[in-house]
Structure 1
Amino acid sequence: MSKKITRWLLLRKFIAPVFLLAALTIVGTVGYVFIDDYTWINALYMTIITVGTVGFGEIQPLSNAGKLFTIFLIIASLATVAFYITMVTRLLLDGEWRRQYRLYKQSKRLNNMHNHVIVCGYGRNGKQACEVLRQNGITFTVIEQRQEYVAAAEHEDLIIPGDATKDEVLLEAGIMHAKALISALPNDADNLFVVLTARQLNPNITIISRASDDHSIKKLKIAGATNVIMPDKLGGAYMASLVLIPDVQEFLSMLSSKHNEKFQVTELEVTQAINLGELNLWQETGCTVLGVKQVDSKYRRNPTPDYILMQGERLIVMGSAAQITKAQKHLQER
């Protein structure tokens, strides 16, 4: 059930008693006119004071039928008020109103969100991805269908209960304005559907997908995944590297996940051809060049000063936030 339908059902619970009172007022007015020959204004007045149970006396004497009709109006109005109070109390006590208000705030935030990351699945891998994104101050939203994981993700700022393979759910998550999508669902077939749907909706988005089977990697790439990660293989390789080069591996982990104002690793787009030595990035900005991603998606690690940067390539640099900002400006000015 969509959020719009859910909100309408919740709103209907609040406005239904209003319609009941309005209907009761109309019935009462018409009844007094036809039963005891009241004028329309007197009939309306009599109905209001009866339904409101204010205790005023009758405008004119009532017949036995009129008295029975008045008893009916009093009982009906009390039942309506009791129903409304019970319903409002239940909505407040079971948290439904709080949940819907939270969804309303989420919807407003999603409408204004741009260049964010969509995380599909809040299992072990999805939760880890969210933690890294949060540590680095990157705005993200989570899509999760399994109720137990939705409950676990309640502390996240933006959680969308739903099926990430469906167009409407991805659109609700703002995929048209997102910069990246992480598909961390446990099933490779579901990840494949997410990748296909996301790539169709936003051809320019970066898509990172999880895979459990070697045979799924090629299919996910064909479907449109920018990168495919196998967590089980990475975990084993990481443990082995901790035996061989523990300090180096910990340093590399810090490079990839611990970003703050004092330390970041990022990429800078090259807009025109220039000699790396002439750029003199270290002396000018304090940034360290780690490598270059070439146009053919190959990497040149630790490039020499005579390397010619070409338009469309990306510099992988390390430095503080201020140094990286200065390097980006320096690169654009050359």
Structure 2
Amino acid sequence: MAKLFRTRFYVAIGLMLFVLLFGVLGYRVICDYSWVDAMYMTIITVTTVGFSEVQPMDTEGKLFTVVLIISSVFIFAFAISVITEYILSRNSMQLLKKKKVKNTIGKLSNHVIVCGYGRNGMQAAARLKAYKRSFVVVERNKEIIEKFEEEILFVEGDANEDEVLIEAGIDRAQYLIATLPDDASNLFVVLSARQINKDLFIVSRASLVTSQKKLQLAGADQVIMPDKIGGDHMASLVVMPDLITFMDKLSIEGEHTTNLEEVAIEDFADQVDCNSLRDLDLRRKTGCTIIGYIAPDGEYIINPEADMKLQPKSKVIVLGRPEQIKKLNKMFHIE
């Protein structure tokens, strides 16, 4: 529908320009007017202003003027109706689109809010999309929103304003990712978000080392410095190239490329007797290997022993090829 309106709009504009060009050339050739006089006569004729001619016309000039008036009346009437319809329909469609987005966001819970759709925001959104996580992007640049609104849920506005965060459903959200370009803006976002939702897990971007502690004090659970990570990664490729390249091959991006999976013990508890890692026996059943254990208090244990006792609300980190991870998810009905 939008494409049809746009096509008719361009046709209407084209017809109006054609009438003006037709009139200028006609007066120039038939009546031998100068370019300025020909343009003047065309404008006062098609707009039916009714000023007098710049100079007396012969029969051919008068007949041409009659044809120009009749054709311009119909074409301009058509063009004005199409342009008016296009503007009204565009506004209506924008309102309907905003209402639809608002209703969709209103139904979300335990979702992710991404503040800023710059370079880091786009990367975060792409990863969340690959993992099929529900998320909303807060962005104030209207051009960016119009470019990506067909594939991303956007809330237009400044992420520093509480009303905008509330519109994004921050009271029902589980995570917030602050990726604004400057640290001061991210600091305000973290402060506002933490004030509204005490249970929110907040990840913030930082450019300066001095900002890291301030963001943590403001309420950020994790602070990421992209420039530092990039520099460390490049240096590691020089010092340990094969190890880093191998680590880069480990993907957690999508259904067909995942090599790592985080699984809650509760996903196994209803199906197997899992007092220890040995009881799970994932290596034999699925080919996957448990390389990490996360205790309920958040302690991380790398390469845990097989006899390690499993506690409620703990998690295991599993390594495997994509087909092995898929087999694991299917066997234990893990979404």
Mean Cα displacement is larger for which, 244-253 or 135-144? 244-253
Q: Give the AA of the match of 1:316.
A: I
Matched, 1:91 2:91: no
Q: Which secondary structure state, in structure 1, belongs to the residue aligned with residue 171 of structure 2?
A: helix
CA deviation string 1:41-65 (max 9, x = no partner): xxxxxxxxxxxxxxxxxxxxxxxxx
Distance 2:195 2:284 in 1: 44
CA offset at residue 325 of structure 1?
5.2
Q: How many residues align?
A: 246
The aligned counterpart of 2:331 is: 326
Q: Give the AA of the match of 2:315.
A: R
CA offset at residue 184 of structure 1?
0.3
- 1:226–1:305: structure 2 CA closer, same or farther, 3 Å change rule? same
Q: Give the AA of the match of 1:203.
A: K
Task: Indicate if the aligned counterparts of 1:287 and 1:324 stay in contact, CA closer than 8 A.
Answer: no
Matches within 5 A, 1:270-309: 270=265, 274-309=275-310
Distance 2:257 2:181 in 1: 36
Q: Out of 204, 228, 247, which is 1:209 matched to?
A: 204
CA offset at residue 108 of structure 1?
1.9
Task: Indicate if the aligned counterparts of 1:182 and 1:209 stay in contact, CA closer than 8 A.
Answer: yes
CA offset at residue 117 of structure 1?
1.6
Q: Which secondary structure state, in structure 2, belongs to the residue aligned with residue 182 of structure 1?
A: strand
CA offset at residue 211 of structure 1?
0.7
The aligned counterpart of 2:258 is: 263
Task: Indicate if the aligned counterparts of 1:259 and 1:265 stay in contact, CA closer than 8 A.
Answer: no
CA deviation string 1:147-175 (max 9, x = no partner): 44434443433111111122221121122
TM-score normalised over the length of structure 2? 0.64
CA offset at residue 87 of structure 1?
4.6
- 1:197–1:248: structure 2 CA closer, same or farther, 3 Å change rule? same
Distance 2:227 2:209 in 1: 11
Distance 1:232 1:251 in 2: 22
Q: Following TM superposition, where does structure 1 have runs of at least 4 consecutive aligned residues deviating by more than 6 angstroms?
A: 83-86
The aligned counterpart of 2:105 is: 110
Distance 2:310 2:215 in 1: 31
CA offset at residue 296 of structure 1?
4.3
The aligned counterpart of 2:114 is: 119
The aligned counterpart of 2:29 is: none
CA deviation string 1:158-207 (max 9, x = no partner): 11111112222112112233232111011212212222222232222321
Distance 2:313 2:218 in 1: 24
Q: Give the AA of the match of 1:278.
A: D
Matched, 1:173 2:178: no
Q: Which secondary structure state, in structure 1, belongs to the residue aligned with residue 163 of structure 2?
A: helix
Task: Indicate if the aligned counterparts of 2:252 and 2:259 stay in contact, CA closer than 8 A.
Answer: no
The aligned counterpart of 2:237 is: 242
Distance 1:180 1:325 in 2: 27
Q: Give the AA of the match of 2:125.
A: C
Identity percentage of aligned residues: 41
TM-score normalised over the length of structure 1? 0.64
Q: Which runs of 5+ in 1 are unaligned?
A: 1-82, 330-334
Cα RMSD (Å): 2.9
Q: Give the AA of the match of 1:238.
A: H
Task: Indicate if the aligned counterparts of 2:187 and 2:215 stay in contact, CA closer than 8 A.
Answer: yes
Matches within 5 A, 1:183-198: 183-198=178-193
The aligned counterpart of 1:226 is: 221
CA offset at residue 103 of structure 1?
1.2
- 1:321–1:192: structure 2 CA closer, same or farther, 3 Å change rule? farther
Distance 1:321 1:315 in 2: 16
Task: Indicate if the aligned counterparts of 2:292 and 2:318 stay in contact, CA closer than 8 A.
Answer: yes
CA deviation string 1:282-323 (max 9, x = no partner): 224443212122344332111121323333432112342441
Q: Give the AA of the match of 1:324.
A: N
CA offset at residue 84 of structure 1?
9.2
Distance 1:104 1:264 in 2: 39
The aligned counterpart of 1:158 is: 153
Distance 1:262 1:233 in 2: 27
- 1:104–1:210: structure 2 CA closer, same or farther, 3 Å change rule? same
Matched, 1:314 2:315: yes
Q: Which secondary structure state, in structure 2, belongs to the residue aligned with residue 129 of structure 1?
A: helix
Distance 1:198 1:264 in 2: 33
Distance 1:173 1:101 in 2: 18
The aligned counterpart of 1:41 is: none
Q: Give the AA of the match of 1:276.
A: L
Task: Indicate if the aligned counterparts of 1:183 and 1:209 stay in contact, CA closer than 8 A.
Answer: yes
Distance 1:203 1:120 in 2: 18
CA offset at residue 233 of structure 1?
0.4
Q: Which runs of 5+ in 2 are unaligned?
A: 1-79
The aligned counterpart of 1:74 is: none
